[in-house]
Structure 1
Amino acid sequence: MVRAGVLAVLARDPQVDVVTEAGDGREALVLARLHRPDVVLLDIQMPGMDGLTAAARLRQESAGVGVIMLTTFGQNEYITRALEDGADGFLLKADDPRELLNGVRAVGAGGAYLSPRVAGRVVAGLRARRVAYPRRSLEGLTEREREVLAGLAAGWSNAEIAGGLHLVEGTVKAHVSAVFSKLGVRNRVEAAIAAYEAGLRPPRCA
């Protein structure tokens, strides 16, 4: 029933095509390798292999595939682990259905997306602990990589960063990978936090 509801929401957007459905986490990995979708939706609890483990495996095996967790489990530890394991988005099934389309569009374009409810929990958790991630030095980044990082902090997709910096999208992807590697971050959310801590400003235009 839940999957049918998800399909009904996604069908509202003519630019979104559902290429396949998986009955469990292991099948999701196999089908992701086969179809190479832009975005994979996973739940926290799935038969065969839980969604968090599947998300980590997808990040290792299919780096170009965006991963969104869509779940009823919105506890902070699940959100943190999902983002650390490489998820690009986190949504709750209780969110407004429009958030699902917003998330799929954003992650499909190379960005990241947290629903407002999830983002609120992340912010509250960071404030409560006062420290989110260890402060990272940006000294090893080139000037261009700093500009790309600033775009990530602004929440821009790879295409938007490419437009703002007058680069081809493939070059931006290479810079994003270099930024992740040099900063030791796993995803765009952690990269954005590093940028904000360093006081980077977004590029002037997109």
Structure 2
Amino acid sequence: MIGVLLVDDQPLLRRSLAMIIENEPDLAVVGQAGDGGSAVLRARSARPDVILMDVRMPGLDGLEATRRICADPVLNGSRVLVLSMFELDEYVYEALHAGASGFLLKDARPEELLDAIRRTYRGESLFAPSILTRLVAHYVAAPRRERTPAPPPGLTPREVEVLALIGNGLSNDEIADALVISVKTVKTHITHLLAKLAARDRAQLVIVAFNSGLVSPR
């Protein structure tokens, strides 16, 4: 059972999300919070697997709450999926660097939300397609001097290839097709990358790929 914590300052939206989630046999709402401060406290007590986090809330906002949750060793098993009405670039970048595993718009369909929760639980990064495209474009356009000029040390050539494809937004299936290897082999490479780079999840691998200059212009 995947435990989900709902964080949003709108009670009606929390109720709607709870109804969607509770209808799934493998998902359960383990708590709710209406602001970032309460979210941090509730996460520590409920130990959710996935936290659906709103950005704009009174008091402590969702980005700072995400930062505190992801930095808390007690909550190492909890992953944050940021939900927002806005796809403002600064929100996406801040959410990523705060430790979020993904960023989804609130206009997503229910089935997209449920898929996002499950993927986040499995350690996959999740971004709305429009957001990922803009995220990649931002890093590609950034001055080269702002990024590490070489891949992280200690990686095999194949791991560097996989990391680059992750940074370009490819799924495991797409990576397998591009490199002509099995999906199982792709997952093994990703496991090695997470360990070697001390990354929390796939979203952090995306950041490493960007900062290492491995993302190619589209």
- The interval holding the TM-score normalised by the smaller chain is 0.7 to 0.9
Structure 1 match to 2:97: 84
Distance 1:175 1:120, change over 3 A: closer
Displacement of 1:42: 0.8
Residue 115 of structure 1: which of 114, 128, 135 is its match? 128
Distance 1:94 1:131, change over 3 A: farther
Matched, 1:187 2:200: no
- 2:203 and 2:146 map into 1 onto residues whose CA distance is 12
- 1:74 and 1:110 map into 2 onto residues whose CA distance is 22
- 1:59 and 1:95 map into 2 onto residues whose CA distance is 24
- 2:98 and 2:118 map into 1 onto residues whose CA distance is 21
- 1:55 and 1:31 map into 2 onto residues whose CA distance is 13
Residue 164 of structure 1: which of 165, 185, 189 is its match? 185
- 2:112 and 2:80 map into 1 onto residues whose CA distance is 15
- Greater shift, 5-14 or 48-57, is seen at 5-14
Distance 1:145 1:50, change over 3 A: farther
Q: Give the alignment's TM-score, normalised by structure 1.
A: 0.73
- 2:145 and 2:111 map into 1 onto residues whose CA distance is 29
Matched, 1:60 2:71: yes
Displacement of 1:128: 5.2
Q: How many residues align?
A: 190
- Greater shift, 185-194 or 36-45, is seen at 185-194
Displacement of 1:18: 1.2
Distance 1:180 1:93, change over 3 A: same
- 1:145 and 1:65 map into 2 onto residues whose CA distance is 30
Residue 45 of structure 2: which of 30, 34, 39 is its match? 34
Amino acid at match of 2:154: L
Gaps of 5+ in 2: 1-11, 173-181
Q: What's the % identity of the aligned pairs?
A: 30
Displacement of 1:87: 0.9
- 1:198 and 1:136 map into 2 onto residues whose CA distance is 12
Amino acid at match of 1:41: L
Structure 2 match to 1:202: none
Q: Secondary structure at the match of 2:31?
A: coil
Gaps of 5+ in 1: 200-206
Structure 2 match to 1:96: 109
Q: Per-residue CA shift, 1:77-115, capped at 9, x if unaligned? A: 111111111111101112223221121111100111001
Structure 1 match to 2:150: 137
Displacement of 1:164: 2.6
**Cα-Cα RMSD:** 3.6
Contact 1:66 1:107 in 2 (8 A): yes
Q: Secondary structure at the match of 1:27?
A: helix
